[in-house]
Amino acid sequence: MLFIILSNVIETFLLDKTSSEYNQLAQTHSVQVAPLFNQASATKLYTYLVNVSAENDCRAIVVDAYGIVQSDAFSQLNGVALDNQQIIDVLQGGVNVSHGFYHLPSSSGYEKSYPNNLIGELRQFLFNSTDNEWVMYCASPIIFDSKIIGAVLLSVPIESTVAQIELIKWQILIISIATGIGAILLITLFSGTMLKPIRQLTQGISQIALGDFTQRVKVSGNSELAQLASTFNQMSERLENLEHTRNEFVANASHELKTPMSTIKILVESLQHQKKVDPVITKELLGDVSSEIDRMSLLVNDLLSLVRLDEQKPTALLVSQVNLSAALMQVCDNLTPLSFERGIELDLSVSADIAFNGDEYKLKRLFINLIDNAIKYSEDNSIVQVSLHTKSNQIIFKVQDYGVGISEEDVPYIFDRFYRVDKMRARVTGGTGLGLSIVKSIILLHNGDIKIDSTLGKGTTITVVLPYTA
Ligand SMILES: Nc1ncnc2c1ncn2[C@@H]1O[C@H](COP(=O)(O)OP(=O)(O)OP(=O)(O)O)[C@@H](O)[C@H]1O
Ligand SMILES: [Mg+2]
């Protein structure tokens, strides 16, 4: 399309330029030759036409009112009747000039003239096989005493102009084809590179939809697509972690429930196989069954708490204004028998009436879990220090024990569900490894923070910070 438009524009431009130039000449000379022609001064007229032809690189002819050649600069057509359209146009009157293009056998007497350059040479090479040549006729009437007495006809060889036009057309055609092929190649290449990450992403997403969370895509560059790919990778990594945690959680929960269940089964079976029912042993075995059931219900309660805390909805909290100081003292009262049993002194330092907007039940749970740990992992006859104070806009709750402590490697994991440093000991102490996970969830829901300082064999200090607004 562009090729056709460009070719036409160039053709029109070059031909219009030539035709308007020679139209102008034909008109000028028709006026000039009028007196010569009227005087029937054949030699003067001929000389004039020869000069015009030589000067303007054309062939000048004068015809009379009947179209018969009266003088020809090339002296070949004298007496011949010309009937081309341009002569007819101007002799009939009404037009000052008329021009037309003809593809004639090369008998017009011109030397074939190609421009002396690469275009000319190519043109000669491409088109020399034909004997025809392009000529333009420009005719203008010779008027004397307001009467048309003849016409001047300029026959202009335009072979080189046409050659030029044709060659330019060829060039445009070749450039258009090359550009087209280049564009197609570029589009194919570019769309291949562009679409590759999209294809990879689509593939990855389909795999994730099928449950394979190990999918990752290559991230290169800084483009929007690269950002999308990196977000996708983050998402699949998170999904993979979640899947892993979920599997681990289910496995741990099942394991934790299986242990007391197996114990209960063994205890019940040994009761069944007793030949003689000894009330003392039976009571003891039933006592063990009961404590295993307690352990199971504790575990189920913890699991349920975690599930609810995980929902992290505002409804997960029953918020009211809580007197934290009173709540902590009550928790310590309840735990005193436990510490007393092991000769552990519970040293309490609490500022009075610290108010906090939160869920009282969950906050007490937080206190219980942390103080219970401190007692559980302390040596007998040691001391556990508990304090609750405010500092500018913070409520600081601290529990310090001088017990077994936690090694540096274990600290990052102790908030993980079911994580217990010493599984054997935890079994003895009755822990399930969910206490600190619950603590962390409660603190996060109350926009607080928790910090652990621990030295293996020396003791642990746990600090909880809550926002203080009162
Ligand atoms: N004060 C502490 N001193 C030493 N180790 C501790 C202390 N608190 C927690 N830990 C370690 O961190 C682990 C996780 O604690 P967490 O409270 O979550 O579980 P648990 O006490 O074993 O069981 P439970 O679910 O009954 O609380 C414990 O098993 C213990 O190894
Ligand atoms: Mg605990």
Please choose from 436, 439, 451 the residue to mutate so as to test ligand 1's pocket, defined by most ligand atoms within 8 A of CB: 436
Rounded to the nearest 10 degrees, the angle between the axes of helix 2-38 and helix 159-209 is 170
Nearest CA to ligand 1 atom 19: 433
Strand boundaries in 371-458, DSSP class E? 383-391, 394-401, 449-455
Atom from ligand 1 closest to the CA of residue 302: 25
CA of 420 to the centre of ligand 1 (A): 6
As beta bridge partners, residue 252 has none
Residue showing tokens 């997403």: 205
- Give yes or no for a contact between 378 and 462, defined as CB atoms under 8 angstroms apart: no
pTM passes above 0.85: no
The pair of structure tokens assigned to 73 is: 């600069």
Atom from ligand 1 closest to the CA of residue 419: 14
Buried b / exposed e along 121-130 (16+ C-beta atoms within 10 A): ebbeeebeee
Q: Tens of pLDDT along the chain (470 residues)?
A: 777 787 788 888 888 888 899 999 999 999 998 988 888 888 899 999 999 999 999 999 999 999 999 999 999 999 999 988 999 999 998 889 999 988 877 654 444 444 455 555 555 555 554 567 788 999 999 998 889 999 999 999 888 888 888 888 888 888 889 999 999 999 888 888 778 878 888 888 898 888 888 888 887 777 888 888 889 899 999 898 888 878 878 887 887 788 889 889 988 988 888 788 788 888 988 998 998 898 888 888 888 888 777 776 656 678 999 999 999 999 999 999 999 999 999 999 999 999 999 999 899 999 999 999 999 999 999 999 999 999 999 999 999 999 999 999 999 999 988 888 876 555 556 677 889 998 998 999 999 999 999 999 999 999 999 999 86
Nearest CA to ligand 1 atom 17: 435
CA of 435 to the centre of ligand 1 (A): 7
The CA-atom distances, in angstroms, between 229 and each of 30, 233, 243 are: 80, 6, 21
Closest ligand by atom to 437 CA: 1
Ranges of CATH 3.30.565.10 domains, the chain: 317-467
d(CA 54, CA 58): 7
The pair of structure tokens assigned to 132 is: 């025809």
Closest ligand by atom to 460 CA: 1
- Give yes or no for a contact between 245 and 213, defined as CB atoms under 8 angstroms apart: no
- Spell out which residues line ligand 1, taking CB within 6 angstroms: 369, 373-374, 377, 401, 403-406, 414, 419-422, 426, 431-437, 460
The helices-and-strands tally (H runs, E runs) of the chain is 11, 12
Nearest CA to ligand 1 atom 31: 421
CATH topology of domain 2-176: Beta-Lactamase (3.30.450)
CA of 108 to the centre of ligand 1 (A): 115
Atom from ligand 1 closest to the CA of residue 415: 18
Ranges of CATH 3.30.450.20 domains, the chain: 2-176
Query: Is CATH 3.30.565.10 the right assignment for the domain spanning 317-467?
Result: yes
Contacts of 387 (CB under 8 A, 6+ apart): 348, 349, 350, 396, 397, 398
